[in-house]
């Protein structure tokens, strides 16, 4: 079996993934609550705190990625598949850095100075990130259960029964 990611990489991966899902849950639900209501305020505050946490963890993760070698992709993947994997991972790193920064600019004095575009880009980018994450998840499941190369297990602390 190909080498696994280490505990630190796994922990950062799954904590960030959970927080990103929380961002979609909060970002797309506070609109259902009335302006000024407690529920809306709670979801919005959660979005801001969790978004800040993603930014800090993403910087830590990138620093770790660049300083500690991570496992190479499994053998037998074509050049096209390797490029697709590297490109999508690169885009995911970019997403977890740029999206929080856009959010922070939107709610800060810079947002007021720059006008509405940072918020608009943040909202649009949320859809693009949705698409990349979907491709990422489908690729991971295809590797594990279609190609049967145990790739998902590289990012999990345990083995999967079906592998």
Interface residues toward ligand HEM, by CB under 6 A: 13, 16-17, 20-21, 23-24, 27-28, 47-48, 51-52, 54, 65, 70, 73, 89, 92-93, 96, 99-100, 103-104, 106-107, 119, 122-123, 126, 129, 133, 136-137, 140-141, 151-152, 154-155
Is the Cα torsion angle 91, 85, 13, 132 positive or negative in sign? positive
CB of 33 to ligand HEM, least distance (A): 13
CB of 38 to ligand HEM, least distance (A): 18
Do 123 and 31 meet the contact criterion of CB atoms below 8 Å apart? no
Number of other CB atoms surrounding residue 118 within 10 Å: 19
How far apart, in Å, are the Cα atoms of 163 and each of 29, 93, 129?
A: 37, 28, 29
Number of H helices and E strands in the chain, helices first, is 5, 0
């Amino acid at each position: 079996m190909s080498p696994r990611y280490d505990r630190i990489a796994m922990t950062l991966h799954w904590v960030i993934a959970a927080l990103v899902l929380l961002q979609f849950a909060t970002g797309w639900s506070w609109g259902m609550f009335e302006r000024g209501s407690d529920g809306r305020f709670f979801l919005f505050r959660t979005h801001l705190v969790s978004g800040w946490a993603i930014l800090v963890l993403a910087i830590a993760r990138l620093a770790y990625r660049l300083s500690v070698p991570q496992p190479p992709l499994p053998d037998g993947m074509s050049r096209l598949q390797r490029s697709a994997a590297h490109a999508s991972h690169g885009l995911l790193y970019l997403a977890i850095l740029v999206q929080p920064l856009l959010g922070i600019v939107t709610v800060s004095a810079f947002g007021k100075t720059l006008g509405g575009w940072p918020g608009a880009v943040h909202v649009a980018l949320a859809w693009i990130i949705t698409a990349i994450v979907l491709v990422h998840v489908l690729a991971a499941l295809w590797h594990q259960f279609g190609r049967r190369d145990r790739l998902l297990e590289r990012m999990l602390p345990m083995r999967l029964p079906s592998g």
